[in-house]
Chains A and B, each alone.
Chain A
C-alpha cells in the first residue's frame, strides 16, 4: 500500500497533483508505445533490374529510386495485430502485410511503407486504400488499387495503372502508359511518351504533354471532361468524338492527308490534322465534354 493513503488529500501540495496528472498520461503513453507496432527497416542487396512486389491492403506507399544496388524497406504497421513480411528470392524482393490472428479488424490492416530501390527496378504494387507514390524509377511498373490514388513522377518503362476510384497523376513520365479507372481523375502532365492509353468512366482526364512523332494518344471516358493542351509547334492527327456531349476546339485543323475520316452518324465529332500530323490522338466520350485547348 502506498504511503500517500495516509496523507489527507487537503495536505498534499497542489504541485504534486499536477505532477501526477502529467505523469499518469505519460506512463500510459509510454506503455502504449512500447506495446504498439514497431517501425522496421530492412535492406536487401540486389543485382541489375530487380523486381519488387508490394501487397498491402491499406496505407501510404512511397517508393523512391536511389543509386545503391540495394532495396531498403521501412515499414510502419498501424497495429501490432499485423506484421510486414519482406523477403528476398534471388533478384526479387516481396513485401506484404499479413494479419497475425483471424480477428483483425479491417481498419487495423494498415501499414505505411517507405521504400528505396535501384533506378532500374521493376515494381508491382497492390494497395487498396491510402496512396501510392513513386519517383524516379525507370523500370516497368504495375500498380493496382481500389481507392488509393497513384502518383508517378519521372517514371519510365511500361507503366500500367489500374484503379477503381483512385486518382492517377503522372508527371514527366516517358514510358508507355496505360491507365484505367472507373471514377478516378487522371492528370498526365509534362509527358514525353510514345504511347498513352487512358480510360476512366466518370473521371476527368487532363493531358498536357508532348506529342512525339508516331506517338499514339488515346483518351476515353463516359462522362466528365477530357482536356488536351497543345502548343503551336505540335504535330498531330486528331479524332475527337462525344456521343452526347460537346467538343470544344481551339486548334486550326485541316482535313487529314493520311486518312479519310467520315463524319459519324452519331454524336459530335471532330477530325483533322494539326501541322504535319505526326502523332495520332483519339479522344472519345459518351456524354462528357472534350476540350482541345491552347497551352498557356
Chain B
C-alpha cells in the first residue's frame, strides 16, 4: 500500500466525508493525529451544524462563489461542476461534499462553518509541516496557513459590514469595535510569530484570534440576516 502524506490526504478529504475511504487514506488517518483531528473537527461541525435552525435567508451568491473558489484554490475541495454549468451555480452549497455535510443549513450559518473549517484545516495541516523544519520554514509554514485565511476573512468582513449596517447603532458599533480588537490581536500575534517563528504559544494565540474573527463574522452575518 502506498504511503501518503498530509498534503496528499487533502485530495481524499472530499470523498472521505462522502464515505469513500481508500485503504491508503485510512492508513494515513490511523497514524496521523493531525489529519484524524481534521476529520474529527469536520464531523463535529457537521453534527453541530445539523442542529441549527434552517429558516434563515440566503447570503449573497458572491460569498459562496468566493468561498468555494478560495477552498478550491487551496486544494481543500475539488470543483465538482459539470462541464456545462456555470461557476455561480456550483458555488452554492447545494453542490459538492459540503452540501452533504450541511444539507439543511442556511447559507449564513454555512458561511461560518466554512470559515471555521478553513481555520481548523489550515492550522492542522501547518503543524506537521512545521515541526520538522528550521525556523525560516516555521515562519513560511505559518504564513502559508494564515495568508489565505486572512484574505478569506477580510472578504467575509466586507460582506458582514454591509449586513451589520442594518443593525441597531449600539450593536453595530460594538461589533465593529470588537472586530477591530480581534484584528489588532491578529496583528500582534503575527508580529510575535514573525519575531519568534517557533513560539508555539504565540501560534496558538494567533490561531485562536483567527477563530475568534471567524466566529465574530459569522455572528455579524447572522445578526444582519435576522434584521433583514
Contact = CB atoms under 8 A, between A and B. Distances in A.
Contacts of A287: 188
Interface string B148-175: 0000000000000000001111110111
Given A147-B171, A165-B177, A182-B181, 4 more contacts: A107-B169, A182-B216, A202-B181, A286-B185
Query: Closest 6 CB pairs between A and B?
Result: A106-B168, A147-B174, A182-B178, A165-B174, A129-B170, A128-B171
A267 B227 contact: no
Interface stretch (B28-36, B92-100, B195-203): B195-203
Given A243-B192, A266-B196, A286-B189, A106 B178 contact: no
A286 B169 contact: no
Given A182-B178, A266-B202, A58 B171 contact: yes
B79 to A, nearest CB: 36
A105 to B, nearest CB: 9
Contact of B202 (A58, A109, A183, A243): A243
Interface of A: 57-58, 106-107, 109, 128-129, 146-147, 164-165, 182-183, 201-202, 222, 241, 243-244, 264-267, 286-287
B219 interface: yes
Secondary structure type dominating chain A contacts: loop
A106 B181 contact: no
A129 B171 contact: yes
B170 A58 contact: yes
Interface centre among A106, A182, A201 (most CB of B within 10 A): A182
B223 A128 contact: yes
Contacts of A146: 171, 174-175, 219, 223
B178 A165 contact: yes
A265 to B, nearest CB: 8
A164 B178 contact: yes
B205 A129 contact: no
Contact of B170 (A147, A241, A244, A267): A147
Contacts of A107: 168-169
B182 interface: yes
Contacts of B166: 106
A241 B185 CA distance: 18
B65 interface: no
B162 to A, nearest CB: 15
23 contacts: A107-B168, A128-B167, A128-B168, A146-B174, A146-B219, A147-B171, A147-B173, A147-B174, A164-B174, A164-B175, A164-B219, A165-B178, A182-B181, A182-B216, A183-B178, A222-B205, A222-B209, A243-B199, A244-B192, A264-B201, A266-B200, A286-B185, A287-B188
Nearest to A243: B201
A264 B201 CA distance: 9
B219 A266 contact: no
Contact of B181 (A58, A183, A244, A266): A183
Contact of B185 (A128, A201, A265, A267): A201
Contacts of A182: 178, 181-182, 212, 216
Contacts of B174: 129, 146-147, 164-165
A241 to B, nearest CB: 7
